[in-house]
Structure 1
């Protein structure tokens, strides 16, 4: 690994730097935890927290901003400034869940945020599996009891082992995107609570759904299920790509204390093929829609988030 790449990552933002220290340089825990504490007061984390409403929400809404005109979605793309996306981003930044600010946020969101779809309290979950998977991950991370959402997700697993947000509309086949959202939620829940045999069984079946397809292929033909899965982006939010899946399997492997599954090999090849000559990885694409601020230099330019995730996946794959 080129030292200059590590130096570049360390200089980007505390949200990146602490993960570099923990995952790539084996810094002492006291050192990376000290860097992690900066997320609340410096850089992107502090900036996102400064956008928070007085009632604990962001943009006055759970899934979309208050007063959102749905025509904007068609014209500019989905907005990503509401509460659910901010909470996921703070989790990925690594805001200390034990901090007073994090605990206040979780409490106030529970009191004041209501889902746009049906007015349910935020931590009771929505109806879509994608949204509920991320809500489980965020709730578990911030110490909220999300066992009720977990139970619903366990009952919504499809016969092929995964999940699909279109199940309520009659779909019988799982989707890559819904499955990764739910898997990340179950993994975070298991990490926070210890999980249960049922949770572990559901996680294993979802993992098998992706592994059988080598993370990006159709089971029937072996062709890419969607060329977009091979193009890397960040933040992913609800979207799937092979790096998001690889980073999940790395996290799951570390929790389970098991070696990488050899069926990840084709996805690893695709990831290595995207690396630039200077050792970094570019942002391949990004969606439109409202955001609070940008965290990259644009499509085609090196991405710190993608580079961090790619390097730690490859380090895990081949220590």
Structure 2
């Protein structure tokens, strides 16, 4: 974890600290390197103020958000909200009670044999995100881990549409899974996750975080434009932020393989030192967090900590 090298006197960091508690505690931890007790005090506000408190207030008596476990298009159902609570860092009694209601009452429906929420269903892009939330929210998810490990492709990635293990992986599915594995390893200390996690990270790294291994061509221009919440969608900022959070060191061969992606992050910085919200995914959002084209605290926070991890002067 980065010890942070920012200053509270910096205008961009002051702006981050004027944001939601979910932004403030992560800025204090990852950019400023503030003492753990100060970080914890700020993090405790997430369930009481701002975005986190608003999401918790929308849970119904059955334990769901949006009346169901998931929706094919909109982003206000239980699976996406639980992930957001994990990404926001919600914790405390109110959060525990809400997540207990999910664990006790919410399942994936008849199509998936009424599998309990934290046991997941079958698609790795969904199961990886549930595992990420489970780790952040202190929920056991060993059944879910087994499903994910059993679904790893021969090339090290994961793919929701693969019919055999020899089919190629997908950046979208793979980032969802390796985020979950890294978070669950950090929460539980499970060393048996080291090797599959490394193989999944190598899937991204050998492709330079964005290119086809066979031809070297850029896979998708959209991956160079950053969004939050990202849900199932990959982009290079999300990929780099995962590597940072997993504890991988940005040196040697890793540094070589991420160099182009790091330059992409630098190139997206506006003259005022902030990063804009480039796009949002389709569908009704759970909450309207930020506006497209406007400075984004989420993108700025993540870009600053990625550049710090990569050893690059960000100008902030």
* Further displaced range: 107-116 or 279-288: 107-116
Matches within 5 A, 1:254-265: 258-260=249-251, 261-262=254-255, 263-265=257-259
Match of 1:19 among 23, 26, 30: 26
Match of 2:128 in 1: 133
For residues 276 and 259 of structure 1, the distance between their equivalents in structure 2, rounded to whole angstroms, comes to 24
Shift of 1:82: 0.7
Q: Mean Cα displacement is larger for which, 47-56 or 240-249? A: 47-56
Give the aligned partner of residue 225 of structure 2: 231
1:266 to 260, 265, 290: 260
CA contact (8 A) 2:25 2:42 kept: yes
Shift of residue 15, structure 1, vs aligned partner = 0.6
- Residue 103 of structure 2, aligned match among 85, 90, 110: 110
Q: Does 1:47 align with 2:40?
A: no
Which of 284, 297, 301 matches 1:304? 297
Listed one character per residue, the Cα deviations across residues 161-209 of structure 1 (whole Å, up to 9, x for unaligned) are 1100002488700000100000011011101111133x11100000000
Distance 1:125 1:28 in 2: 36
Specify the alignment match of 1:153 in structure 2.
Answer: 148
Q: Which runs of 5+ in 2 are unaligned?
A: 1-5
SS at match of 1:302: coil
> How big is the shift at 1:16?
0.2
Indicate conservation of the 8 Å contact 2:268/2:275, yes or no.
yes
How many pairs were matched up?
300
Shift of 1:288: 2.5
Stretch moving more, 216-225 or 162-171: 162-171
With normalisation by structure 1, the TM-score equals: 0.90
Cα deviation code 1:110-157 (max 9, x no counterpart): 121121442322122111011111111111222222111111111111
Instruction: List structure 1 segments (4+ residues) > 4 angstroms apart after TM superposition.
Output: none
- The CA RMSD measured in Å over matched residues stands at 1.6
Q: Distance in 1 between matches of 2:283 and 2:165?
A: 29
CA distance in 2, matches of 1:12, 1:187: 27
Q: Within 5 A, what are the aligned runs for 1:166-245?
A: 166-168=161-163, 172-197=167-192, 199-245=193-239
Tell me, in whole angstroms, the C-alpha distance in 2 between the residues paired with 1:207 and 1:281: 25
SS of residue matched to 1:160: coil
- What's the counterpart of residue 90 of structure 2? 95
| Aligned counterpart, 1:56 | 63
Residue 103 of structure 1: how far off its partner (Å):
2.0
CA distance, structure 2, for counterparts of residue 193 and residue 231 of structure 1 = 33
Q: Distance in 2 between matches of 1:171 and 1:50?
A: 44
- In structure 2, how many angstroms separate the alpha carbons of the residues matched to 1:168 and 1:55? 35
Residue 245 of structure 1 aligns to a residue in which SS? helix
Check if 1:35 corresponds to 2:28: no
Partner of 1:280: 274
Confirm or deny: 8 A CA contact 1:164 1:171 kept in the other structure. Answer: no
